[in-house]
Amino acid sequence: MVVASRRRESVDAALKRLPKRAEGHVLDTTDDAAARAFFAQVGGFDHLVRTAGESLLMESLAESDLTRAAVSRTPGCGVRTRR
């Protein structure tokens, strides 16, 4: 499990609640080069959950259009899964 946040304090707080094997990184998702470097460093992944910046859709998951969730205005970020 990997967590990232723009603020070190948020990363540290998350790591206190997660299993010891979790990794934490400081990342500004508005910096395209930093986001690309982060994903290159982290490598392959199964799921990505992104909550930074944009307002959340407030609807049930059953009613959600996941193609809308996969579109992001933040360079280098979005909702992705590896198959």
What's the CA gap between 31 and 4, in Å, rounded?
13
Q: Residues near 17 by Cβ (< 8 Å), separated by ≥ 6?
A: none
Asked whether residue 60 carries a pLDDT value surpassing 80, the answer given is no
The residue-averaged pLDDT of 34-39 equals 91
Whether residue 78 is predicted with pLDDT greater than 70 in this model: the reply is no
Strands 23-26 and 2-5: parallel
